[in-house]
Amino acid sequence: MSYKKGAQFERALAMQLRQAGAYVVRSAGSKGPADLVAWHGGRRALIQAKVGGGASRLEAQRLVAAAKHMGGTAWIVLRGPRGSEAWHLIYPEGLRGVVATRETFLGWLLGQAPVPWQ
C-alpha cells in the first residue's frame, strides 16, 4: 500500500464518521496504534485503516492494548479491491473476528444500536 492511498482512505473514513455525528481525530503520519480515534457520548473506538492488506500481529496487539487503556473498542478496517470494506472488531477479545459494516459500526458508536457484546 502506498502512503497516499492509505492517507486518502483514513481521511475519507474520518469525514464520513464526522458527517454521521461522531467526533474523530486522525493521527496523520504517526506510528501509533490507531489511525483514527472516534467517539460519541461514552462510546469510544480506535480504528486502524488498511488498504490492500491486513494488520500485523504486533499492530493488532498495540491497538488492543490502547483500546483497553482508554476503555474503548479496537477495529481494523480493510479496504479491498474496488472499494469494498470490512470492519473487524478485535477488542473485546471474546468477539475477535466479528465483521461488520460501516453502518453497523456507526449504529453502535452513535448509540442507535445495542452494543453487540452484551
What are the domain boundaries of the chain?
3-109
Q: What is the pLDDT of residues 25-78, one digit of tens each?
A: 998 776 789 999 999 998 999 999 999 888 899 999 999 999 999 999 999 999
Give, as one character, the DSSP assignment of residue 81.
G
Partners of residue 101 on adjacent β-strands: none
Q: Which fold, 3-109?
A: Trna Endonuclease; Chain: A, domain 1 (3.40.1350)
pTM of the model: 0.89
Q: Which amino acid is at 60?
A: A
As a whole number of angstroms, the distance between CA 7 and CA 76 comes to 15
